[in-house]
Amino acid sequence: MEAGTRRSDPIAKSHLRIPLEFRWGVNGHFDINCDVDTYFHHGLRSGPGTKGLSELHFGSKYTWNKWLRPVWDTAFGFNSSISARRPPPDLTDGHNHFTPYMVFGRRLDRGPGLSSYLQASVDLTSRPPEDCAGFPPVDNGPFTMKKSLGAKTLVYPTPVFVVGTYDQQGKPNAMTASWGGICCSQPPCVAVSLRKATYSHGNIVARKAFTISLPPARHVAAADYFGTASGRSVDKFAATRLTPVRSELVDAPYVQEFPLVLECRLVHTFELGLHTQFVGEILDVKADEEVLRPDGHPDVKKLQPLVFAPGAQEYHEIGKVIDRAFATRGKP
């Protein structure tokens, strides 16, 4: 099943545009024109009932009669258009245009009052200032078709959490999970969802605690093993030769070789369906000093955390920095 619209479809446009034009003939040769494009929501498609100005047009023309031959009229002129502030995307391309042109006109011998014209023009396009519409102009069309993928757990990417627990005999266990993330700022909490069939599920219920260790890219094989082997039958720490460390704050172990660790006390349990969501209050975050920035926060480049692509079943590394967060401060 496919859903989508194209800009060539008139129903895809949510607004009607009404131009208001003013033209002044200064003399027999020179005239000036000014157009204002107004718009309003036509109501045929759902959306906010907006109205306002979309573009401003200015131009002038000078007619030079009988320049080439007695039967030809020649005119020189220009038109310019400027996008108004925050016009709907189906009304403007978000660019400024300056178009000089030249027109040759000739009256037809056959058919009184009829003339033929030949016009040559050049469209010089420039981007308006970035704050003209809040953000740099965006090409809004033609729209591409989106294909329905169905109701699936496809969020890209998901984290790679290694959940640390103790079983009833006190054996340390670790399980990789990707259904999780920060869920509250105050108190600081993180959530992770596990199937009841997993060994770690019962451990968390019994111990009321868990840790989350973030594996770096160099330990991708161990992270994958933690998510595929069962702690019921194997000692995962022994198999991977990694070191379990008992938390001093909660009844759970973490992975010594992984550079960032969250120590969590179980505060909420939600039965969602196939998965149970465990919400843990973060009592402490521990990090290796070599992965910290000068301001004390973890450096993503040094952490080299893994992320997971659910549909493709792949692990990926984090890419380069593209911008600072909160740089706009809520302003366009």
- Examine the domain organization and report whether 58 and 181 are in the same domain: no
Q: For residue 3, what pLDDT is reported?
A: 35
Average pLDDT in the 23-34 region? 77
What are the DSSP calls for 214-237, one per residue?
E-BGGGHHHHHHHHHS-TTT--HH
Residue 131, in any domain of the structure: no
Interval 159-186: pLDDT, tens: 999 999 999 999 999 999 999 999 999 9
Pick the more confident residue, 140 or 313.
Answer: 313
Global pTM reads 0.62
Spatial separation of the C-alpha atoms in residues 202 and 198, rounded to whole Å: 7
Residue 244, in any domain of the structure: yes
> How many domains are there within the chain?
2
Average pLDDT in the 129-152 region? 67
Q: Answer yes or no: are the C-beta atoms of 264 and 184 closer than 8 Å.
A: no
Percent share of the chain, pLDDT over 90:
52
Interval 187-236: pLDDT, tens: 999 999 999 999 999 999 999 999 999 999 999 999 999 999 999 999 99
Lowest mean pLDDT among 35-39, 69-73, 128-132, 233-237: 128-132
Q: In the predicted model, is pLDDT for residue 129 greater than 60?
A: no
List, in order, residues 6 or more apart from 313 with CB less than 8 Å away: none
Pick the more confident residue, 1 or 284.
Answer: 284
- Residue 284: both structure tokens together: 């402490």
Residue 323, in any domain of the structure: no
- Residue 86: both structure tokens together: 């925050």
Q: Which of these three, 76, 108, 126, is where a domain ends?
A: 126
Interval 243-262: pLDDT, tens: 999 999 999 999 999 999 99
| 94 C-beta neighbours (distance < 10 Å), count | 18
- Examine the domain organization and report whether 56 and 170 are in the same domain: no
What are the DSSP calls for 142-167, one per residue?
SPPPEEP--S----SSEE-EEEEEE-
Interval 100-114: pLDDT, tens: 877 776 666 555 666
Per the structure, the complete domain to which residue 193 belongs is given by 158-288+296-317
Spatial separation of the C-alpha atoms in residues 212 and 165, rounded to whole Å: 9
Q: In the predicted model, is pLDDT for residue 147 greater than 80?
A: yes
